[in-house]
């Protein structure tokens, strides 16, 4: 029988082919929103300074009154920003230094605000940069309000009800360097789900459900993360399979939160673990035969291929054989489902691939993830864009093996 060729495992997102455009389109959208809200805050500050009184403030030294707003557009390198609310005064027009300074230093402003959005800078630093760019101080409250607007969507995403329609749940932790006091290694816990098909749907909706930055990937961290999913409505009544990399802490957490749901061991992780235990001289041949196990047409055939591989390599590569044999049962759970789903539900690579590409695109920015707020904001931007791209697409369109 001619050996089957098993292509590289994992769900390869269609959007990965142009992820640069996908990610940076989202970032541009976020930066434009930031610029709009920030400039509107500066304009409000200027008006207050000009007339000597805040809105609705009774003040004998007041030198005029506000008279509504008019809308103005602004062109930036991130695209046009529409409908900026510019205050009117009852005594006539007012020249705003914020716009004048912006026009004179547009490139510097765009670059600075882009980095502000991505890096989650402190209120103090943001005020200093605003003073440099616009020639005036802004209040700490104005800056805090601006950043609060940026984080509202993120908070809404992380607390929204999930419902209980997820059939296949993918969980993985991806290491991430974050600059706090020095560079620290942290872990982004992520959850991806394939929902039960709705009325008239051949396949269920796909969604990145949640993420959380943690210090370590242990039982406590995973239990807290998974318990949050359950608390938001993912009770597990529809769950058919949970796909993981086999992390011991995660498995213990799942046993506590979803004790009756079957687990699929990610075969991409399994193959990597087997590979490092094979001597270099045997790697090509031994791995080629091992991959055939997961290219089988049925669970029965997979077990048969494993036994043949085991007999062939038991003496020469005992460590690799023991590694493959360990939890092999959980590596083959996907065979119980529709063959059309096999390639999608046997790895957690959908999460790893997205992060790998993000790291590659952002590597030139040495301080990209400067703190937890920065990590959360950019992760949310990517999550929202990927979820938007998956809507209405079949499995064949968003994944391939």
Residue 226, Cβ neighbours under 10 Å: how many? 24
pLDDT bin (cut points 50, 70, 90) of residue 83 is: confident
> Are the CB atoms for 299 and 332 separated by under 8 Å?
yes
Q: What is the pTM of this model?
A: 0.65
Radius of gyration for the chain, computed over Cα atoms and rounded to the nearest angstrom:
27
| CA end-to-end span of the chain | 22
Q: What pLDDT does residue 399 have?
A: 44
Of 238, 147, 225, nearest in space to 190 by CA: 225
Is pLDDT above 50 for 92? Answer: yes
Of 305, 385, 272, 287, nearest in space to 10 by CA: 272
Is pLDDT above 70 for 119? Answer: no
Lowest-confidence pick of 89-93, 286-290, 338-342: 89-93
Lowest-confidence pick of 109-113, 315-319, 365-369: 365-369
| Torsion-angle region of 52 (φ positive above 0: left; ψ -120 to 50: alpha; else: beta) | left
Q: What pLDDT does residue 184 have?
A: 73
- Cα angle 253, 254, 260 (rounded to 5 degrees) comes to 145
> Tokens 């400039």 correspond to what residue?
39
pLDDT bin (cut points 50, 70, 90) of residue 35 is: confident
Q: Is 184 or 271 the better-scoring residue by pLDDT?
A: 271
Is pLDDT above 70 for 122? Answer: no
pLDDT digits (tens, 9 = 90+) for 144-196: 555 566 677 788 888 999 999 999 999 998 877 676 655 678 888 999 999 99
> Treating both helix axes as pointing N-terminal to C-terminal, what angle do 123-134 and 106-119 enclose, rounded to 10 degrees?
170
> Are the CB atoms for 262 and 242 separated by under 8 Å?
yes
CA atoms within 13 A on the CB side of 41: 24
Q: Is 143 or 1 the better-scoring residue by pLDDT?
A: 143
| Alpha-carbon gap, residue 92 to 95, rounded angstroms | 10
Percent of the chain at pLDDT exceeding 90: 37
For residue 307, the SS3 value is helix
Q: Which two tokens stand for residue 2?
A: 């001619």
Domain ranges of the chain: 19-156
> Are the CB atoms for 277 and 319 separated by under 8 Å?
yes
> Are the CB atoms for 293 and 302 separated by under 8 Å?
yes
pLDDT digits (tens, 9 = 90+) for 38-72: 788 888 888 887 777 776 677 767 777 777 788 88
| Alpha-carbon gap, residue 239 to 261, rounded angstroms | 7
Of 260, 241, 250, nearest in space to 217 by CA: 250
| Alpha-carbon gap, residue 98 to 88, rounded angstroms | 15
Q: Is 395 or 350 the better-scoring residue by pLDDT?
A: 350
Residue 185, Cβ neighbours under 10 Å: how many? 10
């Amino acid at each position: 029988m001619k050996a089957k060729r098993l292509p590289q495992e994992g769900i390869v997102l269609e959007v990965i082919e142009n992820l640069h455009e996908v990610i940076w389109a989202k970032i541009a959208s976020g930066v434009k929103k930031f610029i709009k809200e920030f400039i509107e805050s500066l304009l409000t500050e200027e008006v207050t300074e000009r007339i000597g009184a805040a809105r609705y403030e009774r003040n004998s030294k007041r030198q005029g009154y506000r008279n509504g707003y008019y809308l103005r557009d602004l062109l930036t390198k991130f695209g046009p920003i529409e409908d900026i609310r510019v205050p009117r005064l009852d005594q006539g027009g007012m020249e705003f230094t914020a716009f004048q300074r912006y026009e004179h230093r547009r490139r510097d402003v765009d670059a600075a605000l882009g980095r502000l959005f991505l890096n989650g800078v402190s209120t103090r630093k943001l005020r200093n940069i605003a003073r440099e760019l616009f020639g005036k101080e802004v209040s700490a409250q104005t800056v805090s309000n601006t950043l609060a607007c940026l984080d509202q969507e993120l908070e809404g995403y992380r607390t929204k009800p999930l419902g209980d329609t997820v059939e296949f749940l993918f969980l993985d932790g991806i290491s991430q360097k974050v600059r706090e006091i020095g560079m620290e290694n942290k872990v982004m816990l992520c959850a991806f789900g394939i929902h039960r098909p709705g009325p008239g749907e051949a396949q269920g909706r796909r969604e990145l459900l949640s993420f959380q930055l943690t210090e370590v990937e242990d039982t406590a961290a995973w239990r807290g993360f998974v318990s949050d999913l359950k608390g938001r409505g993912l009770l597990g009544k529809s769950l058919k399979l949970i796909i993981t990399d086999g992390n011991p802490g995660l498995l213990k957490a799942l046993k506590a939160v979803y004790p009756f749901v079957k687990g699929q061991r990610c075969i991409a992780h399994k193959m990597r673990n087997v590979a490092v235990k094979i001597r270099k001289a045997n790697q090509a041949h031994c791995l080629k035969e091992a991959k055939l196990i997961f290219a089988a047409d049925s669970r029965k055939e997979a077990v048969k291929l494993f036994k043949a591989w085991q007999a062939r390599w038991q003496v020469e590569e005992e460590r690799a054989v023991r590694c493959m044999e360990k939890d092999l049962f959980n590596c083959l759970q996907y065979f119980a489902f529709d063959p059309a789903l096999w390639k999608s539900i046997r790895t957690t690579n959908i999460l790893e691939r997205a992060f790998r590409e993000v790291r590659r695109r952002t590597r030139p920015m040495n301080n990209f993830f400067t703190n937890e707020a920065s990590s959360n904001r950019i992760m949310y931007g990517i999550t929202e864009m990927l979820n938007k791209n998956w809507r209405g697409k079949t499995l064949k369109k968003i994944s391939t093996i």
